[in-house]
Amino acid sequence: MGKVALVTGGTRGIGKAVSLALKAEGYTVAATYAGNDEKAAAFTDETGIATYKWDVSDYEACAAGIAKVEEDLGPIEVLVNNAGITRDAPFHKMKPEQWREVIDTNLSGVFNMTHPVWPGMRERKFGRIIMISSINGQKGQFAQANYAAAKAGDIGFTKALAQEGARAGITVNVVAPGYINTDMMATIPEKVMDSIVGAIPVGRLGEAEEIARAVVFLASEDAGFITGSTLTANGGQYMA
Ligand code: CAA
């Protein structure tokens, strides 16, 4: 069995592409999902990748879920914090629960998943932790005060943790995708979508596989000198 990689939100969208790309590289992959059992079962049938269900916003569930994955597959050496949600609204209409849900999942979820794997990675003197942030955590976005705050928070979290992990052989990095062709785009009204694509210099949305390849590189032994960095993959829309 190859090194164990855990991908949160790993059955759909960017997470699915990351799960498949890591599997193709020889990793033993565990993919988590939050909701749809049927879709997760279909994913396992299609890919042979094991799935586990828990809510990344729940610390106890993360700790228990990670313990189960490690019991089934072995120690987690690569963690990809991909799970994320949007609850877009202009700030004057944003409800406290829209703020909380996004912060709890997209920012606290990253703490909840990383904290339980950290001691094992420190002991084994190896780890790869990769955050999937967003262009909107770098540049801000109308109607995303919640999402932009969480995704920017993920970048700060990474920079702090990279310093703590460095001597223990743990690298911590961010991939910041731009607008990628996934289900998440379906929440954006069509006329807004046209102006988004118009603002992307390469003239198209990104593909999930293009993000997955960046993750595979950061997970590799070859990327051992890269830590605390943010790899931007957005078709030239924002050059951080
Ligand atoms: N910049 C400036 N003004 C904007 C704007 C923008 N980007 N988008 C909308 N507006 C304006 C509209 O023109 C409109 O103005 P008027 O009232 O003067 O006509 C106003 O804001 C919209 O107000 P509404 O009260 O109608 O807004 P709403 O409550 O219906 O909300 C919305 C609509 C949520 C803003 C919707 O337009 C939307 O979803 N926009 C897309 C937001 C977005 O890009 N999200 C990114 C999702 S992808 C993602 O998150 C993945 C990733 O990491 C990249």
Q: Which amino acid would we find at residue 10?
A: G
Is residue 237, in this structure, part of any structural domain at all?
no
Is residue 239 included in any domain, yes or no? no
Q: Establish if 53 belongs to a structural domain.
A: yes
DSSP state of 180: B
142 alpha carbon – ligand 1 mean position (Å): 6
- Ligand 1 neighbourhood includes 184 CB (under 6 angstroms): yes
The domain that holds 96 is classified in CATH as 3.40.50.720
Quick check: is 191 in a domain? yes
Does residue 78 fall inside a structural domain?
yes
Please choose from 192, 194, 205 the residue to mutate so as to test ligand 1's pocket, defined by most ligand atoms within 8 A of CB.
192
> How many CB atoms within 10 Å of residue 190?
6
Q: What is the DSSP letter of 125?
A: T
Q: State both tokens at 81.
A: 């914090």
Q: Please give the full DSSP string across 20-64, using - where no structure is assigned.
A: HHHHHTT-EEEEEESS-HHHHHHHHHHH--EEEE--TT-HHHHHH
Q: Is 95 in the pocket of ligand 1 (CB under 6 A)?
A: no
- The residues facing 80 across adjacent strands are 7, 130
Integer Cα distance of 240 and 76 in angstroms: 31
User: Ligand 1 mean position to 149 CA, how many Å?
Assistant: 17
pTM of the model: 0.96
DSSP-based three-state secondary structure for 88: coil
Q: Which domain holds residue 221?
A: 4-229
The pLDDT value given to residue 166: 98
Which three-class secondary structure state does DSSP give residue 85? coil
Angle at 10 between CA 166 and CA 235, to 5 degrees: 75
Atom of ligand 1 nearest to the CA of 180: 54
pLDDT at position 1? 73
Residue 98 lies in a domain: yes
What is the pLDDT, as a whole number, of residue 186? 83
pLDDT tens across the length of the chain (240 residues):
789 999 999 999 999 999 999 999 999 999 999 998 998 999 999 999 999 999 999 999 999 999 999 999 999 999 999 999 999 999 999 999 999 999 999 999 999 999 999 999 999 999 999 999 999 999 999 999 999 999 999 999 999 999 999 999 999 999 999 999 998 888 888 888 989 999 999 999 999 999 999 999 999 999 999 999 999 999 999 998
Is the CB of 47 within 6 Å of ligand 1? no
- What separation in Å is there between the alpha carbon of 9 and the centre of ligand 1? 25
Whole-number Å distance between alpha carbons of 234 and 231:
10
In a domain, 105, yes or no: yes
Give me the number of domains the chain comprises: 1
Distance of CA 238 to the CA centre of its chain: 19
Predicted pLDDT of residue 170? 98
What pLDDT score was predicted for residue 240? 85
DSSP assignments along 50-114, one per residue: EEEE--TT-HHHHHHHHHHHHHHH--EEEEEE---------GGG--HHHHHHHIIIIIIHHHHHH
pLDDT at 88: 96
Bridge partners of 129, per DSSP, are 79, 172
Is the residue at 119 inside a domain?
yes
Q: What angle do CA 193, 195, 199 make, to 5 degrees?
A: 115
User: Which residues are identified as catalytic?
Assistant: 147
For the CA of 147, the closest atom of ligand 1 is 50
Judge if the beta carbon of residue 191 lies within 6 A of ligand 1.
no
